[in-house]
Structures are given as C-alpha cells and as structure tokens.
Amino acid sequence: MLSPLKISSLSARCCSTFVSRMRLVARLQQDESACSAALQNAQLFLFHRLSPLLLRTQQGTFRPAALRTTDVQAMLERLGLDGTLLEESVLIGCSEQNQVQFCLDVGELDRAAVEQVCGGNFISLRKAFFLLTEPEAPLVAKGQALLRWHQTSGFCSATGKPTQRNQAGSQRVCSRSGITYYPKMSPVVIVLVSDGKRCLLGRQSSFPQGMYSALAGFCDMGETVEETLCREVAEEVGLEVSRVSYSSSQHWPFPHSSFMMGFHASVSPAHSQLSVDHTELEDARWFSLEEISSALQVKTPPRRGDPPVLWLPPKHAIANRLITEWTDHQQRGEEGQ
C-alpha cells in the first residue's frame, strides 16, 4: 500500500501533467507562431468530408489513424499537392504523452487514394462510434465538430462578409466588423425515466434496427434544463415526472454538435400509462431489469434478417451510462432485499 506521502506526490505529478497540457493548448490557441511550430511536429487525425480515418488492428478492432505531420506531407506530395492544405488543420488537444493533436479534412482529395496511401478507411462517425473505445470516440467527435463548424461559419451572420480563422482554429473573426465567433454547442437534455421497477426507452425511425435509447430533446429559449426535461417527457410519452437527479454530461456530435446533460427521473407506477407522440417517436416502451441486463450483454449490432433483439447505444454514449447506472441501482436494490 502506498504511504500518504507517496499518494500525495503521485497526485501532484498527475495534476501537474494535466495542468501543463491544458496550458499548452491554451497558449497554442493564442500564439499563432507557436501553433504553427507545433503543427510541424504534431499528431494528425484525417477526415474525408467529416468521416474519420480508422485503422483496423491485428485484433480486429478499430482505432483512429494518428499520423505524423511528415507522413501527411508525404501523402499530399504523393497525390500531387503541396503542403498548403496542412494550414487548414485545426487544433483539438494534447495527448497524455504531450503530443499536440490536430485534425484535417481532406475531402477535396480522392477518398480511395488517401485510404490506399494511409492503409485505413474513412468511416461515417455514426458507425465509428460503435467501433471505437471510450477514450478515442470523444476525440474524433471533437475533431469532426470543429471541422464542421469551420465549414459552416465562413461568413459573418451580421455583415455577410468572410470570416477568418486563427491558426489554431479556435475562433473566426469577421473581416469587416471584427466580430469574433467561437464554436458553439446546442444544449440537450437526455433523461432515463423509471417507475421503480422498469425503465422507459424510445426509438426514432432513424435509429438502427432494434435500438432504443433514453428520451432527449433540445432546450428551448428561456428554459432551465429541468423545465426542458419535464416538457420533453410530457410531449413525447405523456408522463409527468418527479424526483429528477443529475447524472453527467457529454459532448455529442449529432446532429450538429450537442451538449448533452444526463438525468434520471421517476414517475408513479400508478401513472405510468404511455401516450406516445408518434410525430416525435416511432415507439416507446417500458423495459424490465431482465430485458435491460440482457441488452447490455449484446456486443455487436444485429444484422439485417437476424431475430429481433433489443440493442442499446454504444458504451461511451451518455444514454448507455444512464441505463447502466439504473441497472446497477436496481441490482443493488434487489441484493439488499
């Protein structure tokens, strides 16, 4: 067992490393020359029209392709381009190994040619989320969100004039008015409703076959997150909730960069009859602990033609976290009885 002194020393070193990484990223966002220098020896994650480049490992799993700047420069030269495209790279962070990380969309290049040179495949982010592990999925989600923001923020909403980005890609400034724009996320509430014995899940028609998730909705102007939660549940399934508790939050890249705030909420078993608004949801159902526990064991998505099976969002999705928390709570409650 570590002594208190050793634990304190270890904690201080970890904290110092985190602080140094965060301060490095902040400095690169503000210092154009330092950011340009960092890009010359960075880790680059490529996208093609917002689809990340993934590599298949020897174990059959997938990971984002982390390329060196020199490798990307060589790839561009091989495909007949100069290195000016690298200047469009966007800073996304710094690894635990103190490697500065950028992302770059190469959508103007031939997709198959880039895949052949790099030895990977560009896969849509929705599919990639079911292939990547928890530390990797948020990284490519952040990269895609920043790239999308730059692609849709080329002009000032006040003057209509072009906006210019800084080297890090952390902001854009109107060339006429000087208005500074920063990447934005839309606030979304996601809630797992329970009647004490069952949890409520719904599905939209756009979901993969068999997948159900927690209820979610965007915050309206002037609403608190609690008001949004109550309104969404009332609108979508006709229930009035009580005993709301906060769980956690998460950046979610769909549909266009959302800030998800996760909650648990309760309804009375005597007032749990559903009235589903089918303009909002394709279906909504109560699920037992046994059904949810079995669904959490499903490792791969069902294929077309397979028998119907309940399928849950990927492990790093906040919906999965809410469902897992509810399951753990129910199991602890049963064990204590």
Instruction: Give residue 302's pLDDT.
Output: 67
Residue 279 contacts by C-beta under 8 Å, 6 or more apart in sequence?
A: none
**Amino acid 223: pLDDT:** 96
- 309 Cβ contact partners less than 8 Å away, ≥ 6 residues apart: 210, 295, 298, 302
Domains of the chain in start order, with CATH, are 35-148 (3.90.79), 153-184 (no CATH), 186-335 (3.90.79.10)
Q: What are the tens digits of pLDDT across the range 192-241? A: 999 999 999 999 998 888 899 999 999 999 999 999 999 999 999 999 99
pLDDT of 335 reads 42
Average confidence score pLDDT of the chain: 91
Average confidence (pLDDT) over 123-147: 91
* 246: β partners: 263
Asked whether 228 and 217 are in contact (CB, 8 A), the reply is yes
> What contacts 273, CB < 8 A, 6 or more positions away?
238
Segment 256-288, tens digit of pLDDT: 899 999 999 999 999 999 999 999 999 999 999
- Percent of the chain clearing pLDDT 70 (strictly above): 92
Q: What is the pLDDT of residue 305?
A: 67
Please provide the size of the chain in residues: 337
How far apart CA 50 and CA 43 sit, in angstroms, is 18
- DSSP H stretches of helix in the chain: 4-30, 32-39, 69-78, 111-118, 125-128, 136-151, 225-237, 289-295, 318-335
Residue from 48, 53, 50 nearest 120 by CA: 53
| Token code pair at residue 51 | 């689809």
Counts for the chain of helices (H) and strands (E), in that order? 9, 16
Q: Are 197 and 221 in contact (CB under 8 A)?
A: no
Tens digits of per-residue pLDDT, 40-52? Answer: 999 999 999 999 9
Q: What is the pLDDT of residue 133?
A: 81
Output the pLDDT for position 35.
97
Residue 185 has pLDDT above 70, yes or no: yes
The model's pTM is 0.87
Q: What is the DSSP string of 248-303?
A: EEEEE-TTT-EEEEEEEEE--GGG------TTT-SEEEEEEHHHHHHHTT--SPPP
With 50 as the cut, is the pLDDT of residue 38 above it?
yes
Over residues 19-32, the mean pLDDT reads 95
Give residue 6's region: left, alpha or beta (phi > 0; psi -120 to 50): alpha
Instruction: Yes or no: say if 126 and 139 are a contact pair by the CB < 8 Å rule.
Output: no
| Terminal Cα-to-Cα distance of the chain (whole angstroms) | 35
The helix-helix angle for 111-118 and 69-78 (nearest 10°) equals 130
Q: Does residue 36 have a pLDDT over 60? A: yes
Structure tokens at 87: 């200047």
| Cβ(164)–Cβ(176) below 8 Å | no
Listed residue (229, 233, 236, 242) closest to 270, CA to CA: 242
